Amino acid sequence: MRSGSPRIDHHIPDVRDGLTRPQRIVLWVLHQTQQELRGRHVPTAMLYGRVVEHINITPQQLQRILQSLGAANHHLPLPGG
């Protein structure tokens, strides 16, 4: 029987690339959704709706994952530009 709490190993970075399981799922879902939208921007609400089909995560946790992956800063001006 599975408990409602996440497994501890889901939060340990993988030695291959340093990503946790939730980070990997978010990136995979983001990639799949971008392909469906033909490269267009994926709204966070849409991404969240698709991510929760795979893992139990709050909107705040998704936001933290996106920030840790640098997605929250993609629209900032480039230095010197």
Q: Is residue 47 part of a domain?
A: yes
Q: How many domains does the chain have?
A: 1
**Is residue 79 helix, strand or coil?**
coil
What pTM was computed for the model? 0.72
Q: What is the DSSP string of 7-45?
A: PGGGGSPPTTTS--HHHHHHHHHHHHHHHHTTT----HH
Q: Is 71 exposed, middle or buried (0-12, 13-18, 19+ CB in 10 A)?
A: middle
Q: Is residue 32 part of a domain?
A: yes
Q: Is residue 17 part of a domain?
A: yes
Q: Is residue 80 part of a domain?
A: no
Q: Mind listing the pLDDT tens digit for each residue in 9-34?
A: 666 666 677 899 999 999 999 999 99
**What whole-number distance in Å separates Cα of residue 81 and Cα of residue 79?**
5
Q: What's the confidence (pLDDT) of residue 77?
A: 47
Full domain range(s) for residue 43 = 12-71
Q: How does residue 5 score in pLDDT terms, banded at 50, 70 and 90?
A: low
Q: Is residue 3 part of a domain?
A: no
Q: Is residue 30 part of a domain?
A: yes
